[in-house]
């Protein structure tokens, strides 16, 4: 479920501002995006990572959380060892005898799900509030924007820590924490864009037609505010994944039964000092690649979707 | 100006008050205070006595005012684990965190400024691109991951630096410091570098942007035309002018450096406030958690207030705009 919403949103965003023109906006968007080889490469890697995560249970040689498949005798094997079950542990095993490669695939799944899921919920919450602030103005605007200011004046880790200290750990609580941390970015961005857009003629026209307010806001105003939001959404997915990994590493994030990459890294931490680097190192590389690749795609999206940079 | 100051002060007080409500509700409404505050070994009579003594049988708003009153007197409860006042525990750990954060700030300046200068003066050179690409990594990589890699390379593989702990300290002004002993310095390097990573990237970007803007200014062109040496132009005319935003932002970032030290301290087992709060969360030592959050939030509000006031002193537009609104 991870990549499709973002991708679908990207396409509709590219379509939205250019529907007036006759050329196909999607093709132009793809052509613009493909100008950077690095971004295309990053996108391909991201798709591969997402597929690996989605089909983890098919690809992984072992279900790392089915105790019947684990052999404690295979614990802490270095990469390349052939285990008792007959297949090679290409990335070694952890202290419980889990195949690290399988563990990473299942961990990726949790990391991506939590990251993309919470970034998307934050997107919906933040965008709705930002649009309300811009369209209604006055007290609504002051109240919402003061909240945004307050939220942004505290660092993300502190807010997340506070929430998890009260709610305890668990996937849902991590999602709540990330949404609380991230919504303000969307709200601030969409308000800025929407304030400009709402003075345009098409909004005036819609108001003259006496369309309902929700319809004007969500059918007319929102689609024209989407491009900068898409960029933020991409970047925030990467930030959400990093934040979730950090919280899980600190032992405040996901439970042991559903380990994300961050928790895998934390599990291997104590063995790293004794030279068994692979238990932490490979999940770390998976995390690194995921975050960097999403950022590279986001960077190119920003260039493509920014009207000021358009040739 | 006075009106602005008073208004801003009132806003800050309001935020502090709001935070106490949130923290109070966090502890007393979401968690079960009886379970949190009374030992599970206590029998029924003891429990009831303790509930009455702690005032847990009274209505919530009354409890809130008791909590607020105690907090105002500096009483933020006693730690269950150490059986000491929570505030005292945190204040004891504060110097270690402050030292780490200061060291990180120093790193950010001495590494970020020259790198940013290089990248800004020759924006198209390959090394400038490498610097900028690295700074993007500094922004996007999780701190804990980089910390692990530092330990793996410099402590485990190369064995140059100690992996965790604070090492020996020496006393100065009644407080223990690491940087006064050579061995203590060795312990300080990796955590400080890890914590400063984000700030280094920030300083690089700020400096680069500043340099690129400033070298096009007329006074820089004039200084060059006058025949001043390139070094003098760069270090006196350019650098002096970009220092203001760089210093402001670095100072502003100090608060979030302290907040992010939670992560660094956990990795490097640095005995500061951040490690204390994580340990306290594990054992559900709620008075310490509440006290830490109160102190940090209070610190942030003071920091934001100071910055806002300073800005309005330096830039009259901010002040005037606020008066109109």
Do residues B106 and B112 make contact, with C-beta atoms less than 8 angstroms apart? no
Which of A137, A143, A158 is the mutation pick for testing B, counting most B CBs within 10 A? A158
Q: How would you classify residue A310: left for phi > 0, otherwise alpha for psi between -120 and 50, otherwise beta?
A: beta
Q: Which residues contact B24 (CB under 8 A, 6 or more apart)?
A: B63, B64, B67, B68
For residue A280, give the nearest of B148, B281, B296 by CB distance: B148
B308 forms beta bridges with: none
Strands, E assignment, chain B: 170-172, 175-177
For residue A251, give the nearest of B15, B267, B282 by CB distance: B282
**pLDDT value at A4 more than 50:** no
pLDDT at position A89 is: 65
Residues of B in Cβ contact (< 8 Å) with A166: 26-27, 30-31
Q: Which residues contact A207 (CB under 8 A, 6 or more apart)?
A: A216
pLDDT at position A211 is: 84
pLDDT at position A90 is: 65
Out of A72-86, B42-56, B107-121, least confident range = A72-86
The band of A119, judged by pLDDT with boundaries at 50, 70 and 90, is: very high
pLDDT at position B187 is: 80
| Other beta carbons within 10 Å of A198 | 21
Tens of pLDDT, residue by residue over B148-175, are 888 888 877 777 777 777 766 666 666 6
Q: Which is more confident, A249 or B322?
A: A249
CA separation for the pair A198, B134 (Å, rounded) = 40
pLDDT at position A311 is: 45
> What single-letter DSSP state applies at residue A285?
H
Q: Which of A112-121, A261-270, B230-239 has the highest mean pLDDT?
A: A112-121
Which of B145, B158, B159, B293 is the mutation pick for testing A, counting most A CBs within 10 A? B145
CA separation for the pair A181, A131 (Å, rounded) = 19
Half-sphere exposure of B252 (CA within 13 A, CB side): 19
| Tokens, residue B46 | 């003891």
**pLDDT value at A123 more than 90:** yes
CA separation for the pair A89, A83 (Å, rounded) = 7
Q: Which single residue is written with the structure tokens 């610190």?
A: B299
* Residue of B261, B287, B282, B280 lying closest to B272 (CA atoms): B261
Out of A273-277, B90-94, B119-123, B280-284, least confident range = A273-277
Tens of pLDDT, residue by residue over A47-103, are 888 888 887 777 777 777 766 666 666 666 666 666 666 666 666 677 666 777 888
Average pLDDT, chain B: 79
Residues of B in Cβ contact (< 8 Å) with A154: 259, 297, 300
- Return the sign of the alpha-carbon dihedral for residues B308, B309, B311, B315: positive
Q: What mean pLDDT do residues A280-292 have?
A: 86
Query: Torsion over CA of B298, B300, B301 and B306, rounded to 10 degrees?
Result: 130
Q: Which residues contact A172 (CB under 8 A, 6 or more apart)?
A: none
CA separation for the pair B154, B64 (Å, rounded) = 50
| Tokens, residue B215 | 């070298």
- The topology under which CATH files domain B86-324 is MetI-like fold (1.10.3720)
pLDDT at position A3 is: 43
Contact call for A165 and B136, based on CB within 8 A: no
pLDDT at position A117 is: 92
**pLDDT value at A179 more than 90:** yes
**pLDDT value at A7 more than 50:** no
Residues of A in Cβ contact (< 8 Å) with B140: 238-239, 242, 291-292, 295
pLDDT at position A1 is: 38
CA separation for the pair B266, A262 (Å, rounded) = 14
**pLDDT value at A11 more than 60:** no
Q: Which is more confident, B66 or A114?
A: A114
**pLDDT value at A160 more than 70:** yes
Which of B17, B101, B148 is the mutation pick for testing A, counting most A CBs within 10 A? B148
Q: Residue B158: closest CA among chain A residues belongs to which residue?
A: A275
pLDDT at position A83 is: 62
The band of A281, judged by pLDDT with boundaries at 50, 70 and 90, is: confident
A88 forms beta bridges with: A82
Distance, first Cα to last Cα, chain A: 35
Contact call for A166 and B156, based on CB within 8 A: no
For residue A154, give the nearest of B27, B282, B300 by CB distance: B300
* CA distance, residue A230 to nearest chain B CA (Å): 18
Residues of A in Cβ contact (< 8 Å) with B264: none
pLDDT at position B40 is: 64
Average pLDDT, chain A: 79
Distance, first Cα to last Cα, chain B: 15
CA separation for the pair B311, B314 (Å, rounded) = 5
CA separation for the pair B63, B57 (Å, rounded) = 9
A vs B, Cβ pairs < 8 A, gives: 100
B102 touches chain A (CB under 8 A): no
Tens of pLDDT, residue by residue over A213-241, are 888 888 888 888 888 888 889 888 988 99
Contact call for A246 and B263, based on CB within 8 A: yes
For residue B281, give the nearest of A252, A262, A272 by CB distance: A252
Contact call for B263 and A164, based on CB within 8 A: no
The band of A175, judged by pLDDT with boundaries at 50, 70 and 90, is: very high
Residues of A in Cβ contact (< 8 Å) with B149: 284
Q: Which of A172-176, A257-261, B74-78, B245-249 has the highest mean pLDDT?
A: A172-176
**pLDDT value at B261 more than 90:** no
Q: How would you classify residue B228: left for phi > 0, otherwise alpha for psi between -120 and 50, otherwise beta?
A: beta
pLDDT at position A118 is: 93
CA separation for the pair B91, B69 (Å, rounded) = 20
Domain ranges of chain B: 2-72, 86-324
Do residues A194 and A134 make contact, with C-beta atoms less than 8 angstroms apart? yes
Q: Which of A118-122, A198-202, B157-161, B168-172 has the highest mean pLDDT?
A: A118-122
Residues of B in Cβ contact (< 8 Å) with A158: 256, 259, 293, 296, 300
Contact call for B148 and A295, based on CB within 8 A: no
- Return the sign of the alpha-carbon dihedral for residues B106, B108, B109, B114: positive
pLDDT at position B167 is: 67
pLDDT at position A142 is: 86
* CA distance, residue B322 to nearest chain A CA (Å): 13
Which of B28, B140, B154, B304 is the mutation pick for testing A, counting most A CBs within 10 A? B140
Q: Which is more confident, B178 or B72?
A: B72
Q: Which residues contact B183 (CB under 8 A, 6 or more apart)?
A: B167, B168
Out of B49-58, B90-99, B226-235, B244-253, least confident range = B49-58
CA separation for the pair B185, A295 (Å, rounded) = 35
pLDDT at position B317 is: 62
Q: What mean pLDDT do residues B89-110 have?
A: 87
For residue B263, give the nearest of A250, A269, A288 by CB distance: A250
pTM attached to this predicted model: 0.81
B12 touches chain A (CB under 8 A): no
Q: What residues of A are in the B interface, CB distance below 8 Å?
A: 150, 153-155, 157-158, 161-162, 164-167, 238-239, 242-243, 245-246, 249-252, 262, 265, 269, 272-273, 275, 277, 280-281, 284, 287-288, 291-292, 295, 299
Q: Which single residue is written with the structure tokens 């490690």?
A: B275
| Tokens, residue A88 | 């090679």
Tens of pLDDT, residue by residue over B13-24, are 888 888 888 877
Query: For chain B, what is the radius of gyration of the CA atoms?
Result: 24
The band of B140, judged by pLDDT with boundaries at 50, 70 and 90, is: confident
The Cα-based distances of B189 to B149, B155, B195, B275 in angstroms read 14, 12, 10, 18
């Amino acid at each position: 479920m991870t990549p499709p919403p973002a991708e679908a949103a990207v396409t509709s965003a590219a379509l939205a501002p250019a529907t007036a023109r006759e050329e196909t906006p999607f093709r132009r968007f793809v052509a613009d995006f493909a100008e950077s080889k690095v971004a295309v490469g990053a996108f391909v890697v991201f798709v591969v990572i997402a597929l690996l995560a989605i089909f983890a249970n098919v690809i992984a040689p072992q279900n790392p959380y089915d105790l019947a498949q684990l052999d404690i005798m295979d614990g802490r094997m270095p990469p390349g060892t052939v285990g008792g079950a007959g297949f090679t542990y290409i990335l070694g095993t952890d202290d419980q005898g889990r195949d690290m490669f399988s563990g990473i695939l299942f961990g990726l799944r949790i990391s991506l799900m939590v990251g993309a899921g919470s970034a998307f919920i934050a997107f919906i919450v933040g965008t709705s509030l930002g649009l309300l602030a811009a369209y209604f103005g006055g007290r609504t605007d002051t109240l919402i924007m003061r909240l945004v200011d307050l939220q942004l004046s505290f660092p993300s880790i502190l807010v997340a820590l506070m929430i998890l200290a009260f709610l305890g750990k668990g996937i849902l609580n991590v999602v709540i924490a990330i949404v609380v941390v991230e919504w303000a970015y969307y709200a601030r961005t969409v308000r800025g864009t929407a304030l400009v857009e709402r003075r345009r003629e098409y909004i005036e026209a819609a108001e003259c037609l006496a369309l309902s307010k929700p319809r004007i806001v969500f059918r007319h105003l929102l689609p024209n505010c989407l491009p900068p939001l898409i960029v933020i959404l991409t970047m925030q997915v990467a930030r959400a994944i990093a934040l979730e990994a950090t919280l899980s590493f600190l032992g405040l994030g996901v439970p042991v039964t559903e380990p994300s990459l961050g928790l895998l890294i934390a599990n291997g931490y104590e063995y790293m000092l004794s030279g068994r680097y692979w238990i932490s190192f490979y999940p770390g590389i998976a995390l690194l690649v995921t975050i960097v690749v999403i950022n590279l795609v986001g960077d190119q999206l920003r260039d493509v979707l920014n009207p000021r940079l358009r040739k | 100006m006075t009106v602005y100051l008073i208004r801003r002060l009132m806003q800050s007080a309001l935020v502090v008050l709001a935070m106490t409500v949130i923290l109070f509700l966090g502890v007393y409404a979401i968690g079960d205070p009886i379970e949190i505050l009374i030992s599970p070994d206590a029998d029924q009579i003891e429990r009831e006595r303790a509930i009455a003594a702690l005032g847990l049988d009274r209505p919530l708003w009354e409890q809130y005012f008791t909590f607020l009153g105690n907090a105002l007197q500096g009483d933020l409860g006693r730690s269950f684990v150490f059986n000491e006042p929570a505030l005292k525990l945190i204040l004891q750990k504060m110097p270690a965190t402050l030292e780490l954060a200061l060291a990180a700030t120093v790193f950010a300046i001495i590494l970020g400024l020259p790198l940013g200068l290089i990248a800004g003066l020759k924006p198209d050179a390959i090394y400038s691109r490498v610097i900028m690409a690295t700074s993007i990594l500094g922004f996007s990589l999780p701190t804990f991951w980089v910390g692990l890699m530092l330990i793996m390379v410099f402590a485990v593989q190369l064995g140059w630096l100690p992996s965790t702990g604070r090492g020996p300290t020496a006393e100065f002004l009644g407080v223990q410091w690491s940087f006064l002993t050579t061995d203590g310095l060795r312990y300080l390097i990796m955590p400080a570098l890890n914590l400063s990573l984000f700030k280094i990237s920030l300083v690089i970007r700020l400096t680069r942007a500043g340099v690129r803007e400033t070298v096009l200014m007329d006074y820089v062109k004039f200084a060059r035309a006058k025949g001043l040496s390139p070094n003098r132009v760069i270090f006196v005319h350019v650098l002096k002018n970009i220092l203001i935003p760089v210093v402001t932002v670095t100072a502003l970032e100090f608060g979030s450096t302290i907040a992010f030290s939670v992560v660094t301290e956990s990795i490097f087992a640095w005995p500061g406030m951040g490690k204390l709060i994580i340990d306290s969360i594990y054992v559900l030592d709620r008075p310490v958690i509440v006290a830490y959050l109160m102190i940090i939030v209070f610190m942030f509000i003071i920091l934001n207030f100071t910055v806002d006031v300073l800005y309005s002193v330096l830039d009259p537009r901010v002040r005037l705009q606020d008066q109109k609104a």
